[in-house]
Amino acid sequence: MLKTGDVVLNNFFNDKKLGIVYNPIVKNSSEVLQSLKNLLTEKNLRFEKFTIDSMKGGVDFVFVVGGDGTLLKAARFYSKEFVPVFGINLGRLGFLSQTTEEELSSSVEKILTGKYKIEDRLMLVSNDGVLALNDFVIKGSSASRTSRFYLSIDGKFVCDYLADGLIVSTPTGSTAYGLSAGGPVLSPRLNAIVIVPICPHTLTARPLVIPSDEKITISTCDSCTSFVVVADGQDAFNVNSKIEIEKSKFNAKLALLEDNEFYSVLRNKLHWGIAPKK
């Protein structure tokens, strides 16, 4: 098993089994899947393909064909297998993915010759065992009105929010919904959690950054019967009165190309700090 910072030998994959996870409903995924299979077959490498809804273990490295949502789901699944995932973006932004259909051949060659690193990404887990690599979004059961949320950290009451909801985000997820809601961008190397209120009804409610080893408890008022929680924009579930969120013991393992570090992605994909053209 590879560890973060390990040197990858050029022949590392010769005796390993690769996985390909693809999302069949994403445009061009079947064509990219076939191209990827051809590239791996030419190298005489063993691989197995799975749809995003039929993933299995028993592989040593996974190529993920789809958008960021596909990569998020695959990363959560393979985190428990301690297997790195590499994203091939067919979606829109592709912030987590490392390459595109046009760069497929050159990017696969870089992976196979060890020109990449494995980065451990902090994940969150709820008291019900649900994992999130990006964030948990907590909203009231009624979409037509604001809700009151009570926030406690490590058993100590912090404040209450009258808001449309709360976002509890990892550093990886800080560039997603949390950023749109006014939260800060955190380097993915930080061990921290961000709590961002969504449209709070007070000017004093601001995003809060806390250490990753603290446990977050969010509850509602006595008259509220339940609220809705969404993990990574994918897994939605109802919670009665209280949810606890903390750092997961599992880390997502993202395979990143050496020339595609976090700050260049910020600049190139989010156009960070780029002045408007005259």
Low-confidence ranges of the chain (pLDDT < 50): 1-9
pLDDT of residue 202: 85
pLDDT of residue 58: 95
Amino acid found at 176:
A
| Burial label, 83 (beta-carbon count in 10 A; 0-12, 13-18, 19+) | buried
pLDDT of residue 8: 44
CA angle at 260 for the pair 256 and 262, rounded to the nearest 5°: 90
**Residue 244: partners with Cβ closer than 8 Å, 6 or more residues away:** 126, 127, 215, 216, 217
Q: What are the chain's domains?
A: 12-114 (3.40.50.10330), 124-248 (2.60.200.30)
pLDDT of residue 35: 95
pLDDT of residue 108: 93
pLDDT of residue 18: 97
pLDDT of residue 3: 45
Q: State the catalytic residues.
A: 68
Structure pTM?
Answer: 0.89
